[in-house]
Structures are given as C-alpha cells and as structure tokens.
Structure 1
Amino acid sequence: MDVWFATLIPGTWDTDTEIHREWELISAARKDPQAFAPLYESYLPRINRYIRTRVSSDEDAADVTQQVFLNALQALPRYRFKGIPFSAWLFRIAQLTLKQKRRKDKSSVSWDLLPVESYLEGELDPEDIVLQQEGLQRLRRLLARLSPEKRDLLALRFAAGLSSSEIAAVVGKNTEAVKKQLSRIIHTLKEEYHDA
C-alpha cells in the first residue's frame, strides 16, 4: 500500500493494520453490497455535511447523500488505488451527483441555508447567539459573492473536513495549488469580514 493511503481520514490512520482494514472493507463490499455498511457509516457524516452546504434543505441533502452512496456502491468494482484515495474518489462522486441534481433542478443554493445547529457549538446565552448570527450573516454575504468553485473548495475543506491533498485529488489540481488558493480565499474573506 502507498503512504498516501494513510491520509484517507485525517487523524484516524495510525497503523498499517487500519490501512489494510479499509482495503479489506472495500474488497468485501465489491463482493457483497451488505459489506459496504462500515464504509457508509465512516464517510456518511462528512459527505452529508458537504452536500448540505450545496443544497437547499435537509431533505435534499439526505436524498443526494443517499444517491452518492448508491452511485459509489455501483461504481465500487471500478475503484482502484491509483493515486486517488478512497475519500477523494467518494467526494468526486458527490460532486458529480450534485452536478446532476443541479442540471435537473436548475437552482442555486446559498450557504445561509445550512442549519444554525450545524455550525454553532455549545451552550450560548441570547446575546452571544445574536452576535454570532450577525457575524454569520456578514460571512454569508461574503460567501455569496465568491465563485461557485471557491465556495466548493471551502465546503470540501470545512464542511467535509478534507485535507488539501484530498481536495487536490477531488478537484484534479496539485496540493500546493489548492493550499495557496484556500489560503488566498480565507485571507480575503478575513479582510473583507473585518472591513464590513
């Protein structure tokens, strides 16, 4: 197995045993669709968070997420470890599934449709909630001005939790280019946020 395979789920691949376990899960799922369940459970939260930033409702997110995993299960026999981690392969399927949905629906989605509970953590008093919501509104306006490609990079990084190298594999760019682009986007957003 290649070393890059250890980056599939950041922070979780500490030993060769775990790397081989995912490969075994993939191999088993190729033979028996029921064996896909551990892969599904492992990637479901990240795929769903990513999809939720790109569609207009929780119901749409659930539907698209389900379609992503159905598409992945159907395509699993064609997956090979040729420089593309399984997570990147799965997020490419998510992107393609979203494109198909957009063609079908012809609608655009705003980040402000992401439920507040998805990004607010802990117990807050009412004043803190109002301040956070005002800040989020300001951020939403800034995000709305970004190109769809830049918003997608941010969704892959922050909603899906992918590393720069995983994002690079998803979008077909090199890792350094993705790091630079994310850094520029974040820097610009910070400046505009504080100037607003």
Structure 2
Amino acid sequence: MALSLKINTVDFKVFDKNDTQVFGEIYDAFYSKIFGYAFRRVGDYDIARDIAAETFLKAYLNIKHYRFEGHSVSAWLYKIATNEINLFFRNQKYRPDLFGQLSHEVISDRELLVVFDKERQEAERDTEQFEAFNEVQNQLKKLDVKYQEVISLKYFEEKSILEISAILEKPEGTVKSLLSRGLEILRKKMS
C-alpha cells in the first residue's frame, strides 16, 4: 500500500509501507533530532539513547498505521518520543519495552558500540559547550511537564506552534498559552 509521506515541511514522498529502505531514510533523517530532543529533555545520554531507539522501533512496527493527515512524519516521531519521555518521567525507571527484546543476531554489538560511542561523544561535547544551556535545562526540569514539552519543542527542536499542536494533540491556543506561562515561570526561576 502506497502512502503519501511528508518528510519535512516541503518534501512529499510516496512509498510502500513495507519498504524498509524508505524507513531507513526516515531513520537517517530524524534519528539525531529525536535523540537530541530526548537528551535535552531527560539530561541522560543512556536514557535518551533508549528513548530514541524505542521511538524508532515503535514507529517501524506501526508504520502501517501511520496516516498522513496534514502532519509531517517528524510530528509523528516527536509524538512517539514525547510519549516515551513522559513514560520515563512517570516511572523514573525507564526500561524500553521493545528495543531490549531485539535479538543480538539482528544488530551487532560491535556496530552498536561504535554508534553509541560516537553519539555519546557528540552529546557530551555539545553539552560542555553550553553551560547556560545546562542551567536552563535544570530549571526547565523543575517545571510541570506540560511546560517542559512546549518549551523544548519550540526552542530546542524549533517546531512551529502548529507542529507542537499536532505533536501534543492540543489546540494551538492552548500551546501558545502554555508556552507563554511556561516562559514566564522559567524567567522567574532564572532571575
């Protein structure tokens, strides 16, 4: 079954939902963004890696249910990642359900170690470069999750109000209100 897919705000692509090569292109295009979003939200490399892996595994397993309804694949992936992040914050002992069940025959440990080491180095380098970011992140973690979500998506992930509305399934007015209130609270905490 072919699907009309919006990879980003201008790129539309038609593909067979069973075409794993196309999913590979989606993975390549969005993995670092989803990983970065998770890392900035949870502040822990290993948990962010697990969340990103779980996000893409769930997306891969559920691609047949994806329907293009005016929202990009990016919004769909951020929605899955946001749900995983919320699960982490609810449980504080995040354990990915699906990724851990993969057979070692499917993915080589050596390949994973190389990828994970590279991701860790990049994440640590980025974090070290921005001390102010760490302070904002620490204060952001003290906010209610509803504020964390909108602020992270707007300023760290550079999503539009419309995209945030689609990701969080909230009206645009609610997103704007949450963003305004959240920023006001964050400014007071930073003063």
TM over 0.5: yes
Asked if the contact 1:91/1:170 (under 8 Å) is kept, the reply is yes
Asked if the contact 2:151/2:179 (under 8 Å) is kept, the reply is yes
Task: Give the Å deviation of 1:40.
Answer: 0.9
RMSD: 2.9
Task: Give the Å deviation of 1:41.
Answer: 1.1
- Larger strand fraction of residues: 2
Task: Give the Å deviation of 1:173.
Answer: 1.2
Q: Give distance in 2, aligned partners of 1:46 and 1:181.
A: 23
Asked if the contact 2:154/2:161 (under 8 Å) is kept, the reply is yes
Which of 50, 55, 76 is residue 68 of structure 1 equivalent to? 55
Instruction: Report what 1:160 is aligned to.
Output: 157
Q: Give distance in 1, aligned partners of 2:24 and 2:170.
A: 30
- Identity percentage over the alignment? 25
- Is 1:98 aligned with 2:85? yes
Q: Give distance in 2, aligned partners of 1:142 and 1:76.
A: 36
Q: Counterpart of 1:93 in 2: which secondary structure?
A: helix
Q: After superposition, what is the alpha-carbon deviation per residue over 1:43-73, rounded to whole angstroms, capped at 9, x for unaligned?
A: 1122111111233521221222111101001
- Is 1:118 aligned with 2:143? no
Instruction: Point out where structure 1 has 5 or more consecutive residues left out of the alignment.
Output: 108-114, 122-131
Q: After superposition, what is the alpha-carbon deviation per residue over 1:102-130, rounded to whole angstroms, capped at 9, x for unaligned?
A: 555447xxxxxxx6643566xxxxxxxxx
Structure with more relative contact order (C-alpha pairs < 8 Å, separation 6 or more): 1
The amino acid of 1:167's aligned partner reads I
Instruction: Point out where structure 2 has 5 or more consecutive residues left out of the alignment.
Output: 95-122
Give runs of aligned pairs for residues 172-191 of structure 1, distance below 5 A.
172-191=169-188
TM-score (norm. length: structure 1): 0.66
- Is 1:151 aligned with 2:144? no
Q: Give distance in 2, aligned partners of 1:100 and 1:138.
A: 24
Instruction: Report what 1:79 is aligned to.
Output: 66
Aligned length: 159
